[in-house]
Amino acid sequence: MNGFDTVDSYIDSFEGSTKDYLVQLRSIIRECLPNSTELINYNIAAFTLLEGGKREEQIMIAGYKNHVGFYPHPTTMEYFWHKLEDYKKAKGSVQFPINKPLPKLLIQEMIKYRVDLLTMK
């Protein structure tokens, strides 16, 4: 995969359902974080949770053949682990298959939770 300069160029590198799901996921994130800065981190799409947010203050998304990856942070994954039983998951990420609707409300809850953790520092 090539290096990307923008989230648009990253999303545009995909086709079909993967691209559609990335667009949907980005839209959900933008609803929760309208002032978020979009950037490329680790060659995937990232969104700042706080103004000028560094790696620990970002969430990321990635496209794959059969799923989109959502990377909200290990603390968020731990808190929501029980609500993610229907999905493949790891310490810092969850995979949303592209043959099922995205769990919009759950994603919004996860974003809000992470922002709340960061702002309570």
Domain ranges of the chain: 7-119
Mean residue pLDDT of the chain comes to 95
pLDDT per residue over 3-51, tens digit each?
899 999 999 999 999 999 999 999 999 999 999 999 999 999 999 999 8
pLDDT score recorded for residue 35: 92
For tokens 């706080």, what's the residue? 50
pLDDT score recorded for residue 84: 97
What percentage of residues in the chain have a pLDDT greater than 90?
90
For tokens 């229907």, what's the residue? 86
Residue 79: φ, ψ to 5°: -65, -40
pLDDT range class, residue 54, cuts 50, 70, 90: confident
| C-alpha neighbours within 13 Å on the C-beta side of residue 10 | 24
CATH for the stretch 7-119: 3.90.1150.200
Asked if 93 contacts 69 with a C-beta cutoff of 8 angstroms, the reply is yes
pLDDT per residue over 43-53, tens digit each?
999 999 998 88
pLDDT score recorded for residue 94: 98
Q: What residues pair up with 45 in beta bridges, in sequence order?
A: 40, 61
Look up residue 65 and give its two tokens: 């053949």
Angle between helices 16-32 and 104-119 in degrees, nearest 10? 40
Task: Check pLDDT > 80 for residue 77.
Answer: yes
Q: pTM for this structure?
A: 0.94
What's the rounded mean pLDDT across residues 50-76? 94
Distance CA 61, CA 82 (A): 21
